[in-house]
Amino acid sequence: REPAQGGAERSGEPCHQAVLTPLRELHPHSPSHPTPQGWEERPPNGLPLPSFLPGVLSHLEKLEARAHELALKEEETKQQRRQKVARLRARIKELRQQRDELKMKVSLRQMAVRADAEPVQTAKMREQVLLQWKVENVEAMLHVFYLTGISGKLTKHGVCFCLSTAYDGNYLDSYYLDIVIKQPVRIRRHSVPIFIPLKQIAEKYLQTDIRCFLTTLSAHLNAYVGRKYQADYLQKHFSAFLGRHWQTNSLCNRLTFNYHVTTESSTFPFRVKLVYGDLDRSLPTEASDAPASLLEKVAAHSSLFTHMALHKAFDTFRKAAENPDDTE
């Protein structure tokens, strides 16, 4: 198991290496790993002759077709969602700017009218108007963030934010930040896990753009709970596919495990390593699978791992094994 604070190692460039070793090649002469059914013993000066190759290719075609169809549907849905969110954000930004400009114009006009009669109170009125505008702006920001899983309330120190996380339609953990709204803006206390790069995100956005700070931190938290949810769900509901070898870290951005897939009369052991190079995503950037003797099947499995959640990929394996004649 890697160190608990895995965030420092992964805050740099994404790791795109994958090390996979066939289970059979790890112990070629072990009696606990006999020659799989359908393979002939290796001749002294030759290669093993796969007698089940047609069945493997048929199973591969089913997996590739299903992975391609699911990837297209998911990409189309994501594109539509991104376009809708972009339109709404642009509209919100435009309306907010118009509102702030109108409020400021009205306030300045009122102060200008009263300036002749009350010149002594002009400075105080200006400060009061600006302070009231800041408070209203924060309240409006909290209302908008509430729609995206970020809520908060005003405190005597500033604002206490609550970042709620969810994945696959399930509400998961919530994290809190108590922020002091004074120059310089600072985080008074928080419940964000230590392996989340909170310090780096705060140094980059907290003083200049608190909205960007909150949305970036929320993306990291949602990606983390999404990766953790997939790993927990896989161990709970697909334990029949998994071997004893299971390794991950606190950030859940590196995962190594063994699994096997049964097709027709043959069982194929695999060892997979998933690397999540982007910490604000819940899907891996690299998925490596072995053994090398089944490279085409490995490619199909790797494609599934990088285009869908872990438990959904294994659900595809299970359905393919239960319905070998299903070509959809």
Q: What is the mean pLDDT of residues 42-52?
A: 53
Give the per-residue pLDDT at 7.
43
322 or 75: whose pLDDT is higher?
Answer: 75
For 185-203, the pLDDT digits (tens) are 899 999 999 999 999 999 9
Share of the chain above pLDDT 90, in %: 14
Least confident of 15-29, 46-60, 200-214, 270-284: 15-29
Among 16-30, 37-51, 91-105, the least confident range: 16-30
Is the pLDDT confidence value at 229 over 60? yes
**Cα 180 from Cα 157, distance rounded (Å):** 5
Mean pLDDT for the stretch of residues 266-294: 78
List of long-range contacts for 318-326, beta carbons under 8 Å, 24+ apart: 318/238, 318/241, 320/59, 320/62, 320/63, 320/66, 320/263, 321/261, 321/262, 321/263, 324/58, 324/59, 324/263, 324/264, 326/62
